[in-house]
Chain A
Amino acid sequence: MNINKWTIGLAAVGVVSLSSVAQAQEDGAGGAAAAANSVQINGYISSSYRMDGGEDIGANTGYSNESARDSFSLDVIDLQIGTKKSTADWGAGFMVELWLGHQAANLATDTDGGANTEDLAVKQAYIDLNAVGGVELKLGVFDTIIGSEVHNFNNNTFFSRSWGFSIEPTTHTGLLASYKVSDTIGVNLGIANTTDAQINGTATDADNKTVLASVSVQLPDGVWPWAGDDNPASIDVGIVSGKEQASDTDRHSIWAAAGLPLPMGIDLGLSYDLRKNNGGDSSNGTAAQNLQREDDTVLGATLSYDISAGDDNGVGQLTAAIRYEYADIPEYGADNLGRTVWTSGASSSYTGDKIQSITVGLNYQLSESVLTRIEYRHDAGDGLISETQNTADSIIANVIYEF
């Protein structure tokens, strides 16, 4: 081990370790230097215009990441900085993903748990490790393991988020292990501080942790008649079970989904979301809008069809998609995103009961880097917006530049 004198001096009084410095020095082009050479920066910029139908409804519909009404929006700038870890044993990598812009606050990851008004938020920040036996580990802040949609605008079929996404956890601080059992089966198992996104947050008793588990299965040949090698059928099941942030309230999120090819190139996606709320009091630890302690349930179905396949790089690909959801989410109206509860006389209506939602969209890959889309969304439910406003309609145009 060849260590220069200055390093020894620094090492003697508190800075740097002998082996870590030696490793960095001896590697030369390896070690941190080599890692720096393989650092990649990716991301995207998303911008949109939303036009609301009919009279000004004056309030948000309430689904996650909802853009501003009748406005041009810079949705978000996403920056991803990281390295791909090698496939060798004990390989390591990292990922840092930041959101900048108006939607950054929607991640709700701010460690102070305040009003989440910052225009910069950490979306993910984890160390990616290979362990023994093919197990892959993530330590830090990472995306949740359940759900059919994600926060990133460029990774979803539709611009607007589903109601299913709206009731799911999104981000965790913890440790996640992933393992590929076979070519057709993969499992995830993890432990996190809470079910919520606040970085480093805990339940009231920090010893109570949240468990994450999911299984992905590619159906064997013949099980689904229209599945093929290049378009297999699959089933996913996952659960996130634990405590809410700064609370003793239990929260259990269960998700199941199926991807099923249909004839004529049509793809069918089915999803089921259940969020069980088991608070100790009648308000489930939030507010008195869910006196029956009902759970949140969302059923969804999505059909998509490639009208044009585009070239080898996907340029010119035109995809049509339609999404239908039935959402019974009384708890959602109590603790989310600006939706109000209204009372009429002696009775109260709970926003979120029995919502039906349909979204129709067209996605067009304008170039290798630019995705454009337009969609129409209609939501309907008793008291969806206000005592007299039961529906909401919008047309949204969206452009995303990926780099």
Chain B
Amino acid sequence: MRFRGTWHFACAPAILAARVFAQEDPGAVSWGPAADSVSVHGYVSSTYQFVTGPNAGNNAYAFSGAGGKATRFALDVVSLTFEHPLNDWIADQGFKVQLWVGPDAGDLKSNSSGNNDAELAIRNAYIDLRIPFDPSELAPDKSMDLRFGVFDSPIGREESVDRSLNRHFTHSWGFTIEPTLHTGMLLTLPSQGAIEDKIDWSEPWWRLRLGVANTRDPRINAAPRNANPKTLLMNGTAALGESFGFLNGTEISAGFVYGRPLSSSDPVQNLYLGLGRALGEKWTGGLAYDARLAHGAGNDDSVFGLYLGRALSPKLDLFVRGELFEDGAKLFENESAGEQSDGLGLTVTLDYQLWENVRSRLEWRWDKTDTPVNGRHHNQTMLANLIYLF
């Protein structure tokens, strides 16, 4: 018989000994010739959401689960990444393949066949090339990076699709109206070399990204009916220096995406503006503005966000996000015409590192809309989230 749990008693005739983790060899991973330079990492995310009643909860922002995670234990997603990142300052090659497995995989909407019910989706898959501007003058700040394939949209507050990287588990309204993934090409121009963890942070710093993609939508390899007009991607980010006076130490970012969705021949524009800075030793603050400009009068969405964070202890952080939003054309996922509504939202998150390699969070979110959405003016959710990072 089988004894459940982590101990084993009799080896009963019905069950052979499990071989999970039976191998003592730590080198259980065996790859091809480039094996030693390929890293494997990822995370497992699981939550429990509490809502205030039937059909309650905030189910309209991006990747919310559309109510399918309310009042239950939920596996969100398993993320698996295989990559060889750029390392050399001057010339190098690299790649990244990131897969999502599980219930949230379909939310990426990246399936090339348009099947958004699949339990496996490609999150990123690209090749990186680092090329010197002028081979006769090699220097760390004289190279550019070219990325080909499927990659994250370069605009935004860099609130990632990966919740493991974000302050809050739930996504913001600003993120909801931003593009997420593109299939295309992206050029990155760094000022001091593109290896972020080796940048000299005492000096002002900037980065410019320019790209072109098939469409503003995330579906891999898809293009609008007329595939010739491409989608333009632009983003500039800078850390301001002493010459900017009181803005010294402030990071600013601006981004713009112009292109067609798959479903329309009319282009949509996304504009993003953001700034952030440390406020003393324990506080951080930031502002963000998102606008999505769609064809036709009254179809523009905009979101203004305020962010605060405080380190309460070496292991405990408090984060607060407030947003004001104006809904022009489907700010909310799956909204009806009668639900187009302005409103505001507040999210408070406690992040405590209780276990090694695990992010553990408690979060409360409140959204108020002028017009009922999902039948309610006020929607609240409280959730507990654990993410194991490996």
Write the A66-84 contact mask toward B (1 if CB under 8 angstroms, else 0). Answer: 0000000000000011111
**Are the C-beta atoms of A114 and B117 separated by less than 8 Å?**
yes
**Are the C-beta atoms of B40 and A206 separated by less than 8 Å?**
no
Count contacts between A and B, CB distance < 8 Å.
Answer: 336
Q: A36-B40, A257-B12 are in contact. Are A206 and B70 (CB under 8 A)?
A: yes
**Residue from A12, A93, A152 having most chain B Cβ neighbours under 10 A:** A12
Interface residue A17 (Cβ < 8 Å from any Cβ of B): yes
**Are the C-beta atoms of B41 and A154 separated by less than 8 Å?**
no
Kindly identify which residue among B39, B44, B70 contacts A36, using a CB–CB cutoff of 8 Å. Answer: B39
Residues of chain A contacted by B315 (CB below 8 angstroms): 19, 23
Write the B324-351 contact mask toward A (1 if CB under 8 angstroms, else 0). Answer: 0000000000000000000000000001
Q: A14-B158, A140-B75, A234-B1 are in contact. Are A20 and B26 (CB under 8 A)?
A: no
**Are the C-beta atoms of B358 and A92 separated by less than 8 Å?**
yes
**Are the C-beta atoms of A8 and B277 separated by less than 8 Å?**
yes
Name the interface residues of B163-208: CB closer than 8 Å to any CB of A: 165-168, 172, 175, 196-197, 199, 201, 205
Residues of chain B contacted by A18 (CB below 8 angstroms): 284, 309, 311, 317
A4 to B197, CA, bound (A): 8
Name the interface residues of A87-118: CB closer than 8 Å to any CB of B: 90-96, 98, 110-112, 114, 118
Q: A122-B78, A148-B2, A232-B10 are in contact. Are A12 and B277 (CB under 8 A)?
A: yes
Interface residue A238 (Cβ < 8 Å from any Cβ of B): yes
Residues of chain B contacted by A259 (CB below 8 angstroms): 1, 9-13
The interface stretch among A38-46, A48-56, A329-337, A339-347 is: A38-46
A68 to B160, CA, bound (A): 44
Q: A92-B355, A180-B6, A257-B1 are in contact. Are A13 and B46 (CB under 8 A)?
A: no
Name the interface residues of B239-285: CB closer than 8 Å to any CB of A: 239, 249, 251, 253, 274-278, 284-285
A34 to B284, CA, bound (A): 28
**Are the C-beta atoms of B251 and A218 separated by less than 8 Å?**
no
Chain B min CB distance to A223 (Å): 13
The interface stretch among A267-275, A281-289, A379-387, A388-396 is: A267-275
**Are the C-beta atoms of B15 and A150 separated by less than 8 Å?**
yes
Residues of chain A contacted by B296 (CB below 8 angstroms): none
**Are the C-beta atoms of A125 and B4 separated by less than 8 Å?**
no
Chain B min CB distance to A238 (Å): 7
Q: A9-B276, A111-B103, A188-B5 are in contact. Are A200 and B353 (CB under 8 A)?
A: no
Interface residue A35 (Cβ < 8 Å from any Cβ of B): yes
**Are the C-beta atoms of B3 and A19 separated by less than 8 Å?**
no
Residues of chain A contacted by B52 (CB below 8 angstroms): none
Interface residue B376 (Cβ < 8 Å from any Cβ of A): no
**Are the C-beta atoms of B275 and A126 separated by less than 8 Å?**
no
Q: A82-B21, A141-B75, A206-B70 are in contact. Are A14 and B159 (CB under 8 A)?
A: yes
**Are the C-beta atoms of B41 and A12 separated by less than 8 Å?**
no
Write the A253-282 contact mask toward B (1 if CB under 8 angstroms, else 0). Answer: 000011101000001110100000000000
Interface residue B366 (Cβ < 8 Å from any Cβ of A): no
Residues of chain A contacted by B172 (CB below 8 angstroms): 14
Q: A82-B21, A139-B386, A173-B75 are in contact. Are A157 and B16 (CB under 8 A)?
A: yes
**Are the C-beta atoms of A14 and B286 separated by less than 8 Å?**
yes
Query: A100 — nearest CB in chain B belongs to which residue?
Result: B120
Interface residue B122 (Cβ < 8 Å from any Cβ of A): no
**Are the C-beta atoms of B321 and A127 separated by less than 8 Å?**
no
Residues of chain A contacted by B297 (CB below 8 angstroms): none
Residues of chain B contacted by A234 (CB below 8 angstroms): 1, 3, 9-10, 12
Write the B20-48 contact mask toward A (1 if CB under 8 angstroms, else 0). Answer: 11110010110000000001110010100
Q: A111-B102, A122-B102, A125-B102 are in contact. Are A23 and B353 (CB under 8 A)?
A: yes
Interface residue B134 (Cβ < 8 Å from any Cβ of A): no
**Are the C-beta atoms of A17 and B167 separated by less than 8 Å?**
yes
A376 to B273, CA, bound (A): 69
Residues of chain B contacted by A112 (CB below 8 angstroms): 117
Query: B81 — nearest CB in chain A belongs to which residue?
Result: A36
Interface residue B139 (Cβ < 8 Å from any Cβ of A): no
**Are the C-beta atoms of A17 and B73 separated by less than 8 Å?**
no
A320 to B318, CA, bound (A): 61
**Are the C-beta atoms of B5 and A6 separated by less than 8 Å?**
no
Residues of chain A contacted by B69 (CB below 8 angstroms): 200
> Size range of the interface on A?
35 or more
Interface residue A160 (Cβ < 8 Å from any Cβ of B): no
Q: A8-B284, A12-B251 are in contact. Are A20 and B359 (CB under 8 A)?
A: yes
**Are the C-beta atoms of A206 and B201 separated by less than 8 Å?**
no
Interface residue B319 (Cβ < 8 Å from any Cβ of A): yes
Query: B287 — nearest CB in chain A belongs to which residue?
Result: A13
Kindly identify which residue among B44, B72, B118 contacts A118, using a CB–CB cutoff of 8 Å. Answer: B118
Interface residue B375 (Cβ < 8 Å from any Cβ of A): no
Q: A81-B80, A206-B72 are in contact. Are A6 and B251 (CB under 8 A)?
A: yes
A214 to B356, CA, bound (A): 29
Q: A23-B353, A40-B23, A147-B2 are in contact. Are A13 and B73 (CB under 8 A)?
A: no
Query: B198 — nearest CB in chain A belongs to which residue?
Result: A4
**Are the C-beta atoms of A129 and B355 separated by less than 8 Å?**
yes
A267 to B15, CA, bound (A): 12
Interface residue A399 (Cβ < 8 Å from any Cβ of B): no
A86 to B251, CA, bound (A): 40
**Are the C-beta atoms of B14 and A145 separated by less than 8 Å?**
no
**Are the C-beta atoms of A5 and B249 separated by less than 8 Å?**
yes
Residues of chain B contacted by A201 (CB below 8 angstroms): 72
**Are the C-beta atoms of A32 and B389 separated by less than 8 Å?**
yes
Query: B3 — nearest CB in chain A belongs to which residue?
Result: A216
Chain B min CB distance to A237 (Å): 10
Residues of chain A contacted by B73 (CB below 8 angstroms): 139-140, 173-175, 191-193, 200
Interface residue B373 (Cβ < 8 Å from any Cβ of A): no
Write the A166-195 contact mask toward B (1 if CB under 8 angstroms, else 0). Answer: 000000011100101000101110011100
A84 to B6, CA, bound (A): 11
A120 to B19, CA, bound (A): 22
Interface residue B148 (Cβ < 8 Å from any Cβ of A): no
Residues of chain B contacted by A86 (CB below 8 angstroms): 356
Interface residue B307 (Cβ < 8 Å from any Cβ of A): yes
Q: What are the 7 A-B residue pairs with the smallest beta carbon separation, nearest first?
A: A12-B276, A9-B251, A259-B12, A12-B286, A304-B13, A257-B1, A13-B286
**16 interchain pairs (CB within 8 A)?**
A1-B311, A10-B158, A14-B158, A15-B165, A17-B167, A18-B317, A19-B315, A32-B357, A84-B21, A96-B80, A122-B101, A125-B78, A127-B358, A140-B44, A257-B14, A259-B9
Binding site for A on B (CB under 8 A): 1-7, 9-16, 18-23, 26, 28-29, 39-41, 44, 46, 68-75, 78, 80, 101-103, 117-120, 157-160, 165-168, 172, 175, 196-197, 199, 201, 205, 237, 239, 249, 251, 253, 274-278, 284-288, 305, 307, 309, 311, 313-317, 319, 321, 351, 353-359, 386-390
Q: 6 extra interchain contacts, Cβ-Cβ under 8 A, other than A14-B321, A200-B73?
A: A6-B201, A14-B175, A41-B40, A91-B355, A96-B78, A122-B102
